[in-house]
């Protein structure tokens, strides 16, 4: 009996040790969280979030004083709506496994914990899935906020509230899935967009064009429209955008690594080159440089380097920045006037055209020496990449304009788009919110 008991205990001990070693092996195979990567991605998420209030100040400084509060509101409310929509269904439509066109619904409400503290096996495998989700949420926030610059000073607030979740679901989510989801058709085809040239900038600019074609021009445009009312706020907004954009681009490496450093450097370099290029062009054409022009050029550079930031080196980023200054300056000063549309804050000229140039330039300058996961561009002999980039560009333009047109027609038919003429003349701050940006009080005389 003693011998049998000893053999039995030995067997149990051996089986226990096998189970422990098997568990250790399985744990070793499971994705591990890199705390440095996670810290950088969460910090980048916060940086991208601050871009939306920065955008509000940038836009707000450029409108007339009577529309300042409304312009701030249009961007700020997007944070509130999209942050909830993204958790409920937006993230699932954009990134969950589905088909070539759209994600499935299994991650709605974050999939009852599927999108949780453990890493994803599809995206950013060294950080919690929640970290990747919230990082992408901030992209989904700022994209519709960009559209507000096209229709500033003339859009009903309730119409905007109605439009936001419809647009985010039907326009943004499919394009994000095409470009960034592992089963998206543009992703599989090999079109490159590191941080959102097509998904964010072409998408918002082309959608804004569709919106203003239905909304019409501001009353008194162009003769009665006054210059920006607060350039210091506009420049402050530009600074916040530039600051936050490092999270936008360098954060898209989804790791605290050399690629993040490279994206950070080229983002700053292209932005500076574009801002200076715009200044020189303005000096040549208008005899005086302006702060508004320099800030517009800097934003154009930020836009253009976005799709290329994880695929190009510093010298290519200078070329992209100079190109952004040229393309966006002439889009704003020549194309807008020739076509006659009322894009209040030049979203089409800066974001749609800057994003188009940046996506195209990615096909020219991309290098596998910067990012082996990318592809070599045309200057390295791979002309086919430019073709793939143009398929992505045209797809984003086409889908954004077509679907946005349907949505804005529906909103116009249900709640309407424009306030009354009297309300527009009084200003959107008073007519939509019963608030004003600036209160002036006369000092009592002694």
Summarised one tens digit per residue, pLDDT across range 349-381 is 999 999 999 999 999 999 999 999 999 999 999
- 388: how many CB neighbours lie within 10 A of its CB? 18
Helices marked H in 222-352: 231-250, 258-286, 291-305, 314-330, 336-339, 347
pLDDT at residue number 24: 43
Between residues 30 and 359, the one the model is more confident about: 359
Q: For 32-433, which CATH superfamily applies?
A: Ammonium transporter AmtB like domains (1.10.3430.10)
Structural domain boundaries of the chain?
32-433
Beta strands in 17-106 (DSSP E): none
Report whether the peptide linkage leading into residue 222 is cis, meaning its omega lies within 30 degrees of zero.
Answer: yes
With cut-offs at 50, 70 and 90, classify the pLDDT of residue 382.
very high
| Lowest-confidence pick of 63-67, 220-224, 296-300, 388-392 | 220-224
pLDDT at residue number 392: 98
**DSSP 8-state secondary structure symbol assigned to residue 228:** P
pLDDT at 1 exceeding the cut of 50: no
- Quick one: what percent of the chain has pLDDT higher than 70? 92
Cβ-contact 253, 259 below 8 angstroms: yes
pLDDT at 23 exceeding the cut of 90: no
Tokens coding 392: 């992505």
C-alpha distance from residue 187 to each of 181, 206, 272 (Å): 7, 21, 30
* SS3 of residue 163 by DSSP: helix
Cβ-contact 379, 122 below 8 angstroms: no
* Block residue for tokens 């715009």: 278
* Block residue for tokens 């994803």: 120
CB proximity list for 201: less than 8 A, separation 6 or greater: 146, 303, 306, 351, 352, 354, 355, 358
């Amino acid at each position: 009996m003693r011998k049998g008991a000893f053999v039995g205990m030995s067997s149990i001990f051996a089986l226990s040790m096998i189970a422990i070693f098997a568990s250790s092996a399985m744990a070793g195979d499971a994705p591990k969280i890199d705390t440095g990567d996670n810290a950088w991605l969460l910090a980048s998420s916060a940086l991208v979030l601050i871009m939306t209030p920065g955008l509000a100040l940038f836009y707000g400084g450029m409108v007339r004083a009577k529309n300042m509060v409304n312009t701030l509101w249009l961007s700020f409310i997007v944070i509130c709506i999209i942050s909830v929509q993204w958790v409920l269904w937006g993230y699932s439509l954009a990134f969950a496994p589905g088909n070539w066109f759209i994600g499935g619904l299994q991650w709605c409400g974050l999939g009852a914990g599927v999108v949780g503290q453990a890493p994803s096996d599809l995206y950013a495998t060294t950080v919690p899935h929640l970290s990747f989700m919230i990082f992408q949420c901030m992209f989904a926030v700022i994209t519709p906020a960009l559209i507000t610059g096209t229709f500033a000073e003339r859009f009903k607030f309730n119409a905007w509230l109605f439009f936001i979740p419809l647009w985010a679901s039907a326009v943004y989510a499919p394009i994000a899935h095409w470009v960034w989801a592992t089963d998206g058709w543009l992703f599989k085809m090999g079109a490159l967009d590191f941080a959102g040239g097509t998904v964010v900038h072409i998408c918002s600019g082309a959608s804004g064009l569709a919106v203003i074609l239905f909304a019409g021009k501001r009353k008194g445009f162009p003769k009665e429209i006054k210059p920006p009312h607060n350039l210091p706020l506009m420049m402050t907004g530009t600074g916040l955008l530039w600051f936050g954009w490092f999270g936008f681009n360098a954060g898209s490496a989804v790791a605290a690594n050399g690629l993040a450093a490279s994206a950070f450097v080229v983002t700053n370099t292209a932005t500076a080159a574009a801002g200076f290029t715009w200044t020189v062009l303005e000096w040549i054409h208008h005899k005086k440089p302006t702060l508004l022009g320099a800030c517009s050029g800097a934003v154009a550079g930020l836009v253009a380097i976005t799709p290329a930031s994880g695929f190009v080196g510093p010298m290519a980023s200078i070329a992209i920045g100079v190109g952004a200054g040229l393309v966006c300056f002439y889009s704003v000063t020549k194309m807008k006037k020739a076509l006659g549309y009322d894009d209040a804050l030049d979203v089409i000229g800066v974001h749609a055209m800057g994003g188009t140039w940046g996506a195209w330039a990615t096909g020219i300058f991309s290098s596998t020496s910067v990012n082996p996961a990318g592809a070599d561009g045309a200057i390295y002999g791979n002309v086919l990449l430019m073709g793939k980039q143009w398929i992505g560009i045209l797809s984003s333009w086409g889908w954004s304009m077509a679907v946005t047109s349907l949505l804005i027609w529906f909103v116009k038919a249900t709640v309407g788009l424009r306030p009354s003429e009297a309300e527009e003349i009084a200003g959107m701050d008073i007519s939509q919110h019963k608030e004003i940006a600036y209160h002036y009080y006369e000092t009592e005389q002694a």
